[in-house]
A and B are shown apart, each in its own frame.
Chain A
Amino acid sequence: MLEIKNLHATAGDAEILKGIDLSIGAGEVHAIMGPNGSGKSTLAGVLAGRPAFAVTEGSIRYKGEDLLELEPEKRALAGIFLAFQYPVEIPGVTNNYFLKASLNAIRTARGEEEVDAMDFLTLVKEKMKIVEMPQDLMGRSINEGFSGGEKKRNEILQMLLLEPSFMVLDETDSGLDIDALRVVANGVNHLRGPERSMLVITHYQRLLDYIVPDVVHVLSEGRIVRSGGKELAHELEEKGYGWIEGASAP
């Protein structure tokens, strides 16, 4: 599904990603852990096409296509979804309007019919139940004044609506209480399937109890320094990153 080779990326003058190789097959869930500032969000941003980052070397192929060729919106239309670490507020634009515009853009790209206001409402209600989101959030401006937890639920709600095929979750668990964590993880698991893949960025192995990964990677200073099964996450939680960084030092 996704094939990253020798990826180097810069932000401004600084090289942040320094040669990443990563291959994610259809139906797989990979987790990425790593210390603050190691480049996790940068990788997520590069995958989604955030203009602030420039790819200086390497390639990303998605479903056989050169992903780096595509504008951000084209990537979204092709099924790539990023659940933001810091969801953005857009004053005056209702969540309802935004989600409908987004869904219809994506449905059109898939060759499906646009949904009308009524069908959209039915659909959204159904998905909101899954993430246990209060109805009134739909009538409010996107993420404006939402609590941290509400913002994260809103990201997952969008993901459920859009049914993407490759999902990047950037610290979706940060700032969630225990119950919310379960609810959000449950939402994510709704989308697991043989045709969908995920890259789950997190600092806590707790999330991975709910969303069980096939592979866990550790990112440090822009490189993947260790990969392993889900037990790697447990080990990290016990010993901290120092253990790995020490081990991987040349």
Chain B
Amino acid sequence: MSELTVDGLTVRFGAHTAVDGVSLAVPAGSVLGLAGESGSGKSTIARAIVGMAPISSGSVRYDGTPLRTPDRRIQLVFQDPAAALDPRRSIGSSIAEGVRAKRTARRARVRELLELVHIDPARANLNPREFSGGQLQRVCLARALAAEPEFLIADEITSALDVSVQGAVLNVVREIQRETGIGILFISHNLAVLRYLADTMAVLRAGKLVEQAETETLLGAPEHEYTKQLIDAVPGQE
């Protein structure tokens, strides 16, 4: 397993520069938390990495070589789990799509994946509408893992969820990361969520990277004025 590197990434939509010369590196088996406010370009970076947004300049490399998408080794989990699952197919068949195996082995693997994200495998035949948002997001994680990726990009995967179910999703992400040693780029506007999961953190503002450091350092002793503002604005601090 190897490093994902983003080098001088720039994404333009017409005259608007959404991402402006961003460089990031996520070492194998580590979690990079990407923070920033709305419109700062977080999702665009995620989409550019997996080939869903046009790269104007710069490069995305995996294992040292330029990434050719779609690449099963890198999977993306979306913000809205209900929109990310085909409403007419059972969750089991959505997950099975990513599994490369013979029929019976495939079914066993789907069970395994569901168990991994703490969803009762007996419910594999149900359609997405029978599940809560938090459960659906765990199903989406299971589907991403079906491809046995080496790297996961999670784009605001708990923002559409109620706090009561957000915890379960975060726990699953952490468990998976520890058990499989997968690398994760975890994107969120919520610093508390990032703090809980990330080894290192990067802060994005208006398409540009303002600061990148170990999580403890970045939150404990931020250097950039903007990072300080963000930390101060986190609600619920005494």
Partners in one complex: no
Give the interface of A toward B (CB within 8 A).
Answer: none
Give the interface of B toward A (CB within 8 A).
Answer: none
